[in-house]
Structure 1
Amino acid sequence: MLARLAHRGPDDEGTRTLGEHSWLGHRRLSIVDLEGGHQPLGGAGGVDWSLVCNGEIYNHRELRDQLPTGAFGSCSDCAAALALLRDEGAEGLRRLRGMWALCAATHDGRFVAARDPVGIKPLYWARTGTAVYFASELRAFPVGVQGRAEIFPPGCWWTPDGGLRRFAGAIPAPSPSQGWNGASRQDVEKATFDCVADSVRRHLMADVEVGVFLSGGLDSGIVAAVAAKEYARRGRRLRTFAVGTPGSPDLLAARETAAFLGTEHREALLDARAAREALGEVVACVESFDAGLIRSAVPNWFLSELAAQHVKAVLTGEGADELFAGYGYYHEQHAAPRDLDAELRRTITSLHGLNLQRCDRVTMAHGLEARVPFLDREVIGHAMSLPADMKTLEADGMEKGHLRRAFAGRLPHHLLWRRKEQFGTGSGAQSVLSPVWDSRITQDEYAAALAQDGVPQLRSKEELGYYRAFRTALPGVRPAAVLTRFATG
């Protein structure tokens, strides 16, 4: 199992057997505490916890000031999770601020598995009659166990004695102080700027270089603007990365944004032949056959390959569209503020099986960590406390007007107010990939596949092609365990 995850942690590996019941394994991508962060952490005695954790804990320094000094065994950010387990038990994990999935055990038989409330970092589990398996990717499970694999739900922990328990939802409950009655538009915009900018700065936490994926759109531009200013304050120059076919709209806009911000910018040009040849590998890596997901994963595959040559972690703009209503269908099908708010909440809680799955898999396949500052719990809580009518379309039909005004002056005006394009379209990936399947799969072949027992609903010949690649890569996995639809009515 551990060998199948070597791509996620090329820098180090560690294992530990605890008593008669538990075995922990970890592959490490060294980003914080490069020398002392070897995992499993802990495990000094029979009642002490040993822990393996995938992710980043952004509030670990604050937790060090609040917990007993002896609770921390290293300078690793993941040591904060270990310290909370030691001091407060599984209940303490709700205090972690970051993206994480973990398993921990003791020699005397205790065990806990848990995952962050949004599901930014992946975790799967498979229960058999004699064992329970956990892994970051489906490919890690033994072939005979893959058919039992399921998504471990975000915001939950599991213990053998207590079973599965939810400790937090993806969207924090609003606090009494989060009302905006009487606040001016400018005050609310400043609060949005402060909240997002604070999250971006926190997400730059590392002992290595952190870059930014720059798509040319609003969300990644905002992230890059804050990160570039913070790096300049430290006397350093931010590295940014973009991908697209030559002359594609996203590539040109990203290039202009990078020039405005003064970043060290690099581009990956999307070649049609290379993109088509990579399809099988991308499907296997993303562990999905959703056409929209794969279409955006292919350019991200080449982007991650480029970025991994220069940095170990990148920030992305994932999540802003779901928080601030950036997709056109939100306004076409859920125009009423109450309906819009309900749909935003639904899609935020679905991200772990869609965009976040693609974001994690494609980057980690190249030993690169992706961070998502818009999906920090503080940002989610702030954004969802805003009245939904602040997220409806502008008079000219532009989406995300509130977010654009909050960052006025941080990007050129025409880029700040550039209309959104889906990444697969703006990067040129859709024009490269979609025509492939018209020549490879006939309409009769597509209809026959849909009629087969056990085949899920496939929306196009393109998706049938990805489904076949998925079955080749993961023959033992049940499609129902991985297929999450981003339903748009």
Structure 2
Amino acid sequence: MSGLAGYIGERATAKDVEQMIEAIKHRGSGSPSLQAVPSGFAGFVGANSLGFSGDKAPFVIMDGTLIRDDRQNGASDADYLREEYMKHGKDAFSRMVGSFSCAIMDENECIIARDHVGARPLVYHELPQGDFLFASEAKALKQRADSVEELPPGHYYSTQKGLGQFKNCSVTLPEWESTEEAIKAVRELLIKSIEQAISSGNIKGVALSGGLDSSIILAVAREFDKDIAAFTATFAERHGEDLEYAKLLADQLGVDHHIYEITREDIKNVLPEAVWYLESFDEDCITGFIANYYTSRFASDHVNSVLVGEGADELFGGYFRELQDISDPEEKERIGRKLLEVSYNTALRRLDRGWMANSIEYFAPFLHPAVVSLANNIPMDLKVYQKEDASIEKWILREAFRDFLPQEIADRPKLRFSRGVGVDDQVDQAIPASIGEKELQQSPKSSGGIALQSPKELYFYKLFQEHFPQGYEGLTARWDPFK
């Protein structure tokens, strides 16, 4: 759980970076750290100082966790990245396995980078006079920049060379020739990913929705830690459908199951904060944020870090029940790739901001590079299995872990996350009565030209305008695989 920020340039002061870090202090529970670097200052907030490395150039600050086999040598992930950079330059980013964003400040160059999936956020802006700003979240820059650029996944930005893309890290994948071998490969790699995640941090909890993905994570994690706990959120007045499945699994595994009941007042109160944390007015992202936020706030009384199930839908065809009218295999493959490409600004954004809002570290085993690479090589007909007149999404994942789960969970269809929690229909009731279809017709687009989809989204946009300048509207992204 960490956040980073920096100001490189002749006008940079320590106070500038202190103010930037103050805006994102929620990303870490420890005291902020500040470091003078070549031509500027950089800051970091986290549970400890392990996000910083270097007593002279190059300096490194890092958010995230790398998957390494040499942790016993005591070097932090930031130390490891610094050593690799000193050996390989920018090619070091291709050698990193894990979820991360980082900044490297050398004598005559500042470089920022973000992993291929983009689970960890990173934004930047170059001022007209050449000064360079960067931070984990855009709110850290808004007092100094009227617009921001989001660093795309799998890219770096250099103050000397500009934007560049780096190769994905190479991973060894199991070979398979039959469906049975493919199922075995999925099972073995995901189990290994969960084991590595547990061994890399002080993980004592799992965010359990009751859906297939988080249920797999909890069931496997329980094999490695008998004391691991589960955390679930549901709507207080009418429990979401997911809760009964979450209880079923928790009871079967015998884990300590913590349940938070979200009230109508909770929903009403969190909406302005949701827009602030997400830096977005997209209605789907905000609705999905609510359960992440309250689960993390509740979990923060018990644990510092959790495992989450995000990524499985994008990798294993989880949305094709909603898109089942698509019959062309090539179109399905294209959409599947697109869903993963946009996930950093949809599912992964609400995940990151929801958990980091309460300084809780999260690990997503499905986003391990080996799991991602294997999933990309699995044909769509094993992900979305056509049975008579029905499609079974995430079929290969279900088969790989069927023996870990109750049949009711192994066979249950995917349910929209916010609907499963029970908050989907409740957000509309938290919107002021003064904002309706008439107001939407009068203001159908944002100032930057983004179409507003409903009165609810118009309300979110008005909240957005209170927090951010127009130049930040580009941070709002849509879940739209057809574009």
Specify if TM > 0.5: yes
1:101 counterpart residue number = 101
Q: What displacement does 1:207 show?
A: 4.8
Distance (whole Å) between structure 1 residues aligned to residue 395 and residue 52 of structure 2: 46
Fraction of identical pairs, as percent: 27
Tell me how far 1:436 sits from its aligned partner. Answer: 3.5
Q: Which residue of 1 aligns with 2:165?
A: 166
| Aligned AA (1:295) | T
Letter in 2 for 1:361: R
Distance 1:334 1:375, change over 3 A: farther
Give the aligned residue type for 1:244.
T
**For the residues of structure 2 that align with 1:92 and 1:173, how far apart are their CA atoms?**
12
Query: What corresponds to 1:42 in structure 2?
Result: 54
Match in the other structure for 1:255: 247
Q: Does 1:445 align with 2:439?
A: yes
- Identify the residue that residue 6 of structure 2 maps to in structure 1: none
> SS at the partner of 2:402?
coil
Within a 5 Å distance, the mapping from 1:233-312 to structure 2 comes to 237-246=227-236, 247-312=239-304
Write the distance in 2 (CA, Å) between the matches of 1:439 and 1:302.
25
C-alpha separation in 2, matches of 1:39 and 1:479: 30
SS at match of 1:75: coil
Q: 1:451 to 1:52 in 2, by over 3 A?
A: closer
Q: How does 1:206-225 map to 2 (within 5 A)?
A: 206-225=200-219
Q: What displacement does 1:256 show?
A: 1.1
Structure 2 CA distance for aligned equivalents of residues 79 and 288 of structure 1: 34
Partner of 2:65: 56
Is there any run of 5+ residues in structure 1 with no aligned partner, and where? 31-36
Change (3 A) 1:173 1:486: farther
How far apart are residue 315 of structure 1 and its match?
Answer: 1.1
Q: Judging changes above 3 Å, is the alpha-carbon distance between structure 1 residues 330 and 245 closer, same or farther for their aligned structure 2 residues? A: closer
Change beyond 3 A, Cα 1:168–1:29: farther
Amino acid at match of 2:82: L
Partner of 1:363, secondary structure, is helix
d(CA) in 2 for partners of 1:123, 1:401:
34
Structure 2 CA distance for partners of 1:370 and 1:267, relative to 1, 3 Å: same
Aligned 8 A contact 2:67 2:200 in 1: no
Moved more, 386-395 or 357-366: 386-395
Shift of residue 168 of structure 1? 2.9
Query: Which residue, 182, 189, 196 being the options, matches 2:190?
Result: 196
1:228/1:261 contact within 8 Å kept: yes
SS in 2 for 1:409: helix
In the TM superposition, residue 143 of structure 1 has moved relative to its aligned partner by: 2.2
Match of 1:485 in 2: 478
Find the aligned partners of 2:373 and 2:121 in 1 and give their Cα distance. 22
Q: Partners of 2:249 and 2:41 in 1: how far apart?
A: 48
> What is the CA–CA distance in structure 1 between the aligned matches of 2:201 and 2:167, rounded to whole Å?
30
On the 8 A contact 2:447/2:470 being kept in 1, the answer is: no
CA distance change for structure 1 residues 436 and 109 in 2, over 3 Å: closer, same or farther?
A: same
Say if 2:66 is the partner of 1:26: no
Q: What's the counterpart of residue 32 of structure 2? A: 13
> How far apart in 1 are the matches of 2:315 and 2:51?
35
Deviation at 1:327, TM superposition (A): 1.1
Q: Check the 8 A contact 2:51/2:63 in 1, yes or no.
A: no
Distance 1:192 1:132, change over 3 A: same
- Single out whichever of 471-480 and 422-431 deviates more from structure 2: 471-480
What is the CA–CA distance in structure 2 between the aligned matches of 1:336 and 1:159, rounded to whole Å?
Answer: 41
Q: In structure 1, what is the Cα distance between the partners aligned to 2:34 and 2:432?
A: 48
TM-aligned CA deviation for residue 455 of structure 1 = 4.4
Q: How far did residue 417 of structure 1 move?
A: 0.8
Q: What SS is found at the alignment partner of 1:280?
A: helix
The residue aligned with 2:150 is: 151
Name the CA distance, whole Å, in 2 between partners of 1:84 and 1:440.
57
Alpha-carbon deviation of 1:179? 6.5
The letter for the 2-side match of 1:7 is H
In 2: Cα distance, 1:388 partner to 1:168 partner? 24
Shift of 1:88: 1.6
Partner amino acid, structure 2, of 1:435: Q
- Opposite residue 416 of structure 2, the aligned amino acid is Q
Please report how far the alpha carbon of residue 398 of structure 1 lies from its aligned counterpart in structure 2 after TM superposition. 2.6
Q: CA deviation at 1:312?
A: 1.1
The residue aligned with 1:76 is 76
Counterpart of 2:88 in structure 1 is 88
Deviates more, 1:126-135 or 1:152-161: 152-161
Q: 1:97 and 1:38 mapped to 2: Cα distance?
A: 18
| Structure 2 residue aligned with 1:349 | 341
CA gap 1:77/1:453 in 2 versus in 1, 3 angstroms: closer
Report the 3-state secondary structure (helix = DSSP H, G, I; strand = E; otherwise coil) of the residue aligned with 1:12: coil
- The one-letter amino acid of 1:240's match is A
* 1:137 Cα deviation from its structure 2 partner: 0.4
Which AA in structure 2 matches 1:136?
S
Listed as ranges, the gaps of 5+ residues in structure 2 are 1-19
TM norm structure 1: 0.89
Question: Aligned AA for 1:323?
Answer: L
Aligned to 1:411: 405
Distance (whole Å) between structure 2 residues aligned to residue 184 and residue 100 of structure 1: 34
Give the letter aligned to residue 239 of structure 1: A
**Distance of 2:423 and 2:298 partners within structure 1:** 17
- The CA RMSD measured in Å over matched residues stands at 2.1
Give CA-to-partner distance per residue, 1:191-236, whole Å, 9 cap, x none: 110011111111113452431100000000011111111113xxxx
1:468-479 equivalence runs, <5 A = 468-475=462-469, 477-479=471-473
Q: State whether structure 2 residue 369 is matched by structure 1 residue 371.
A: no
Question: For 2:179 and 2:148, how far apart are their aligned partners in 1?
Answer: 48
Contact 2:84 2:92 in 1 (8 A): yes
- The amino acid of 1:115's aligned partner reads R
